[in-house]
Amino acid sequence: MTDEYEFEIKRKDESGKVYYSTYKVPKDKISTVLEGLLYIKENIDQSLSFRYSCRMEICGSCGMEIDGKPRMACSTIVEDLKKDRIRIEPLKHYKVIRDLVVDIDPFFEKYREVKPYIIRDDDGKYDKELPQTPEQFHEYANFAMCIKCGLCMAACPIEGSDPQYLGPAPLAAAWRYIADNRDKGAKYRVEVVDGEEGTSRCHFAGECTEVCPKGVDPSFAIQKLRRTALKIELASIFGGR
């Protein structure tokens, strides 16, 4: 063991050239991967680019491939990786803009597609709360914890082969709203998620659930969505009962 880590970082410059840079980071100066990146940027190489903000794993900025797995740089304690040489790369399945900065727009576009908001006919009158018991909250609570970091999209094997696939976080968001007793928009959302690029593409390999830093279980949400879609379909066939 030495008193330095080696950060081996995949780079991409403005001209599109891809290469690796290796930096030595003193172990006693940093705890998290993000602190390591900031140390490099402040002290060694001012040209290194990455996203970060809250440093407490709630804003979702700093997702990257760390030691071969999608993780948040701010909450990954370097010591826990149990190695001195850490490879850091941009998230898979996204277009790289520069260095560790990827184009996250397609992810947010997919999120928007699932209509991730309460849909009600009586929207607009806000003089008291809509009743919701703690038990009703727990129906969707897990899925409301998503920080939109997009790690699950990088882990999902379907995303890799089919960029049109809606993907784990957007589908989990669809379920988060359907499972909320205040929402009445299930049928609109089912139209979106039951399509060719929706739930039917999922193989339930569970990689999404495994990498989620917030314990969201998109894989489970997708199963729930399939059942709900079936129910709505049956209801429309046998209607009115």
Tell me which residues in 60-79 interact with other proteins (CB under 8 A).
60-61, 75, 77
Which residue, 167, 90, 97, 181, is CA-closest to 135? 181
Work out how close the CB of 40 gets to other proteins at its nearest, in angstroms, rounded to a whole number: 11
CB 150 within 8 A of CB 212: no
141 binds other proteins (CB under 8 A): yes
Q: How big is the CA angle at 99 (ends 94 and 103), to the nearest 5 degrees?
A: 30
Backbone angles phi, psi at 155, to 5 degrees: -85, -25
**Three-state DSSP class for residue 27:** helix
Residue 95: is it exposed, middle or buried by C-beta count within 10 angstroms (0-12/13-18/19+)?
exposed
Name which position in 24, 112, 227, 231 contacts other proteins (CB under 8 A): 112
Tell me which residues in 34-63 interact with other proteins (CB under 8 A).
41-43, 46-47, 49-61
Name which position in 68, 128, 196, 239 contacts other proteins (CB under 8 A): 128
Question: Where do contacts with other proteins occur on this chain (CB under 8 A)?
Answer: 13-14, 31-32, 41-43, 46-47, 49-61, 75, 77, 97-99, 101, 104, 108, 111-112, 116-118, 120, 123, 126-134, 136-137, 140-141, 144-148, 177, 180, 182-183
